[in-house]
Structure 1
Amino acid sequence: MSARNKLNEVKKVYNISNDLELSKFLKTNKHNIDSWVKRNKIPNSWLNYIELLLQKRENAVNMTHSIEIDEIVLLLKTYGTPKILQELKNKLLTIKNIDDKTI
């Protein structure tokens, strides 16, 4: 992956709009960002830090989804009537079928 693409990935994940904001987020200066892009190489120490930031964000998103799914399952077990469960299952199967057709 190019240096530009890796930096753009960070900007996308953390909702950063430009390289100046990115430099502030990474606690470096914009000259370093420009240099990495120009050379198409992010120094290993920075690359490791960026990878850590991306992994940390992904783990946080996965954890949030896991908590939400657990909450939904608990609600379904506690309050889900057979009719509600069947309706939810049918809606999810419809989405799955649409998704399968687009692949």
Structure 2
Amino acid sequence: MKEVGSNFFGVENVDDLPFAKADELVTAVVDANDYVEAKMAAMRAHATQIELDGPFFALSNQLGLQVWGNEFYSLVKGDAHAPFNNEGRETDLFAGVNL
């Protein structure tokens, strides 16, 4: 994006994004690749909240869609439960939940 004269979300460094977390704080990764198209359609439906020609959709081409395929979470309370991926992160947010 810098090559085309745009800074992503008004920051120079990805570490300055207000919604980003350091990798070591991510405790769960959920594969949501089956839902990427629906997710993108839902975001496009909220054009008053997300600029369709802004940086948010700059990666919405076929290559960029891969970016939206995983959802990342941080456990703030309780214990992590299997199944875990090869990086030791949970892959099922409801594993270990007892009602």
Answer whether TM exceeds 0.5 for this pair. Answer: no
TM-score (norm 2): 0.21
Give the structure with the larger helix fraction.
1
Give the structure with the larger strand fraction.
2
Instruction: Identify the structure with bigger relative contact order (alpha carbons < 8 Å, sequence gap 6+).
Output: 2
TM-score (norm 1): 0.20
